[in-house]
Structure 1
Amino acid sequence: MSSRDRDPLILGRVVGDVLDNFTRTIPMRITYLNKDVNNGRELKPSEVLNQPRVEIGGDDLRTFYTLVFYTVGICCHCFRLVTDIPATTGASFGQDIVNYESPRPTMGIHRFVFVLFRQLGRQTVYAPGWRQNFSTRDFAELYNLGPPVAAVYFNCQRESGSGGRTMTR
């Protein structure tokens, strides 16, 4: 089995469903209340109520990144968009274009994805004209972002009862 076959983004169908295959080139760490977001980890809605801490790597403060956070499912929805994040810092140093909205899955297991893109320059990415049916590919193409430089996802489902165990696509 190759490392590509064991890639959690491929196994979780993030690569394929919403992202094309890419090579991670920048480290990114996402934490909710001291819980690291790891690919496929299940977090409860009560654990993701507040905006997470986002740290990104890189080596040049003159390089800027865009962070997109959204749900993958029947109706994709953008929950946060931060642009102009300098390398070696975190999302708190960028421009909040779409403020954080905590996930509230109603039924089934939902995938919530953080995707980091390198921008062509500062102030080159703006708010999308749409939040419902958000398409990462369309967004990246619109702003000439190229492939992602990092991505991570977690699963979340309604806390009061299982709401079903079917993975939404």
Structure 2
Amino acid sequence: MAAHVDPLVVGRVIGDVVDMFVPTMPVSVRFGTKDLTNGCEIKPSLAAAAPMVQIAGRLGDLFTLVMTDPDAPSPSEPTMKEWLHWLVVNIPGGSDPSQGQEVVPYMAPQPPLGIHRYVLVVYQQKARVAAPAQGPGPDAAMRARFSTRAFAGRHDLGLPVAAMYFNAQREPANRRRR
């Protein structure tokens, strides 16, 4: 009988982005009509808009959602890892990120080279997080080299309660001529 291996371990999310943890909160993620499963492939064009994320939990609970790319700019040389794609704090339990405070606006996957992992991590907050008036915007220097672990440490978030990841690679350009 084969032993179960956690897909977050196989995909090196545990290790590269977060420490070992036991998921304790159901979270569903969907791009359009496609439900996300760990390690699935999503075309960047399908992920142009922020995913629908549903976080379980009680109404009084608060959550933080972080989305990063640990493979930026290329999986073989991730010199800008983690690239911050989305950061939302103070999300009420039983709701979605639109009910929280968006600190960093969603940025769609744009993998320049190779297959990139895009990681969504959910933390249960111990208290309300004081969100800055405006987080990193389109400025690459503000999104590059983000550390999910360091952010969680600064805000006393502890270990994640859930995480998921998907893979994406650059879509070929339309080569048809008219």
TM-score, normalised on structure 1? 0.88
Structure 1 residue 123: Cα displacement? 3.2
Measure the CA separation in 2 of the matches of 1:130 and 1:43. Answer: 25
Q: Partner letter of residue 95 of structure 1?
A: Q
Is the Cα–Cα contact under 8 Å of residues 70 and 78 in structure 1 kept in the other structure?
Answer: yes
Cα distance change of structure 1 residues 25 and 124 upon mapping to structure 2, 3 Å threshold: farther
Structure 1 segments (4+ residues) deviating >6 Å: none
SS of equivalent to 1:141: helix
Contact 2:129 2:155 in 1 (8 A): no
SS at match of 1:103: coil
- 1:61 alignment partner in structure 2: 59
Provide TM-score, normalisation by structure 2: 0.84
Aligned residue for 2:51?
A: 52
Partner of 2:75: none
The structure whose Rg is larger is 2
Over aligned residue pairs, what C-alpha RMSD do you find? 1.6
Question: Which one of the candidate residues 131, 152, 157 is aligned to 2:164?
Answer: 152
Q: Distance in 2 between matches of 1:44 and 1:98?
A: 22
1:110-155: per-residue Cα shift (whole Å, max 9, x none)? 0000000011212345547942111111111111100000000000
The number of residue pairs the alignment matches comes to 158
**Aligned to 1:119, which of 101, 122, 125?**
125
Unaligned runs of 5+ in 1: 162-169
Specify the alignment match of 1:40 in structure 2.
39
Counterpart-to-counterpart distance in 2, 1:136 and 1:82 = 13
Structure 2, unaligned runs of 5 or more: 72-77, 174-178
